[in-house]
Structure formats: structure tokens, C-alpha cells
Amino acid sequence: MVGIRTVAKRAGVSAATVSRVLNEDKTLSVTKETKERILEAVAYFNYEKKERVTKSKHVLSLITTVSEIKELEDPYFRSIRIGIQQQSELSKIATKKVIRLGEQTLDYQDLRSSAAILVIGQVPVAVIRKIREVNPHVMVVDDSRPELLEIGADTVATDFPGATVRQLDRLYGKGHRRIFFIGAQRTITDEAGQEMKENNDVRHLAYQQWMLAHELQAEMKVYLGDWSTIDGLKVTEKLIRENQGKMPTAVMVASDPIAVGVYRGLQKHGYRVPEDVSVVSFDNIEISEYLTPPLSTVNIETEELGKIAVRLAMERIQGQRKVAVQVTLSNEIIQRDSETTVS
């Protein structure tokens, strides 16, 4: 197990500063960026303060579809882990085991000793059912499939369908009708780490339903790649090749990292944002504010996803609740300069 000095070295601060942040020392003055670096290092090493571990009667296990590298590079999943870490500290519960599907074998029987199981990402419903057979306290983070609730698992996710509708309503109100969608396939990871791709991401489905409801099927086009900036660039170049002379007036993008590639693709081929094509997205990662022009996006409270998952786990552990619940977090549209009105 790593010590506090290892955590401090990764965060670029002293061990004393790490200790004071974890103890919520109100006399300590550090920047938000420094605090985030410390919490990221704590989550990276799965560090638990010794006094908290000895006092805790409960231990969580964490099953994630996200590799260690992706978790460090992707602000979305990194924030979820930070939220889990923060709430675990407050709840005096230890996260002692992290199982990364594809990197480690999922031993179902070994999960019996955990007070609760947190699953980050999307795995087959059959796998969640098998986990619940050995441990009924299962919380699934970032997945709102109704089948999970039906088998007794708690879920916590953001309201992506609602945010999609609100974004499209705004674009419609600004005169946009030819609105394309750029996104990615939903990835479901099984117990062996095998990935299955499905064309049913909730943002994609909500976009299609909205376009059909507004009788805009003739203007509807979907381009899917991977959840990366480079794929955003690739699918945008494909979109441009296939729509010469009839480009969309607006593009809805499933995530900010993809949107960075969309910007690059449009600007590389001489299209201006938003004068030629308006762009809206989801996530509100830090870079979205610093693109040129700044990106209109949906702010997702990813740390809250992690915090609420731990609170749900504590309710189960303490016997406060036996019935499964589905928690859907609200979100906020951040309107910036990447969209405009068309006539």
C-alpha cells in the first residue's frame, strides 16, 4: 500500500498539505487546481488514511470498465472517481479493491466480503445479476438502463435524454432545421473485458426521436465514431465529403472530446463556427471554455455521480433501504459562442 509521501509526490505538494486537505483543514489555503491534483493522486493510488481505515467497519469494491490510463486522461471518469473518494472519506468507508475489467479477473465469490459493490460504466445486465447473487448491494454509476432497476441494482446517471431535447429545442428556436448528430457507439464491457458496440447511446436515440417528432427526418443524419478527438475529426471529414453543397446549419456532438475534433475538421476545411455551422455538445470539460469560439455544452456534475453512488451504498449497508432506486441527476446548459441564429 502506498504512503502519503507517494501521493504528495504525484500531486507535487508536501505530505503535510495532502494530510490537511484530506482532513478538511479550514485554515489551509490552496487553489482549486491544487486540491484537484491531490484528490486525483488519492484516487489514482486508492489511498486511504490509516486512521480512517482502522475505524471503518465497511469496505467497498469498485468494478470499472475504464482502464487506469483512460481514467487519468479522461476528465469525465476521473471526476467520478474523485467524487467516490471524497464521499468515502466523509462516510468513513474504505475502497480497498479496484477491479478493471479486461485487466483483472472478476472473481464473483471474492465480492462476498465487500459491504457494497460500485460498478462504473456499462456492463451486461447478466453480469450485474451474477454480482447481485453473491452481494445484493450493487450500485451502477453512469448507466440508466431500466433493466438494472428491474433486477434490483441501484443506478445513478445524468439526464442525457432531457439535456439532448433541451439543446435541440434551443437550436430549433434559433431557426435550425438541418441538424446532424456526431457521436459514438455505446460500449458494453463483459466480465472478460470484451467490448460490445451498440448504436443506442441515449443521446443518439433522443436526437432521432426528437427529429422524427418534429418531422425533420429528411434533415436527419448520424455519424458515429469512437469517443475520441481523433474520431471526431475523422467523422467530420466524412460528413463534409458526403454533404458538399448541403452542409448542416448545426451539429450536435455527444461529448466535448469529440467536439474538439469536430472543430478541427470544420476549420481545416474552411468552415467557420458558428457562422457556417453551429456546434453544441455535452460534458463541459475544462477545454470547452477555451476553444475558439468557446463551446456551448451541457455541464455534467460527474463528481456528484460518484458521491451519490457512495451514499446509496451506505443506505444499503446500514439497512435504511432494501428497494432499488434509480437516481437521475439534472444538468445545466452552458451557452457560449459556438451557436448562432439562422434565417
Angle at the Cα of 67 (from 126 to 15), degrees rounded to 5?
125
Residues 3 and 114 in one domain: no
339: in domain: no
Strand duo 297-299 + 332-334: pairing: antiparallel
- Coil, strand or helix: which one is 46? coil
Does residue 166 share a domain with residue 278?
yes
| Domain identity same for 149 and 171 | no
More confident: 282 or 10: 282
Q: Please give the model's pTM, rounded to 2 decimal places.
A: 0.83
Looking at the fold, whether 147 and 16 belong to one and the same domain comes out as: no
Render pLDDT for 133-160 as a digit per residue (tens, 0 to 9).
Answer: 999 999 999 999 999 999 999 999 999 9
Segment 298-340, tens digit of pLDDT? 999 999 999 999 999 999 999 999 999 999 999 999 999 999 9
The answer to the question of residue 343 being in a domain is no
Q: State residue 129's pLDDT score.
A: 97
Please report, for the domain that includes residue 117, its CATH number: 3.40.50.2300
Residue 105 binned pLDDT confidence (cut-offs 50, 70, 90): confident
> Which residues are within 8 A (CB) of 310 and not within 5 positions of it... i.e. 6 or more apart?
60, 83, 84, 87, 88, 91, 93, 118
pLDDT in tens, 11-64: 888 888 888 888 777 667 778 888 888 888 888 888 876 544 333 458 999 999
Tell me if 339 sits within 8 A of 278, measured CB to CB: yes
Residue 286 sits in the same domain as residue 308? no
249/41: higher pLDDT: 249
Q: Is residue 337 in some structural domain? A: no
Whether 259 is covered by a domain: the verdict is yes
Classify residue 40: in a domain, yes or no: no
Q: Assess whether 106 and 192 both reside in one domain.
A: no
How many domains does the chain contain in total?
A: 3
Task: Specify whether the CB–CB gap between 22 and 42 falls below 8 A.
Answer: yes
Average pLDDT value over all residues in the chain? 92
Give the residue numbers spanning the domain of 236: 160-300
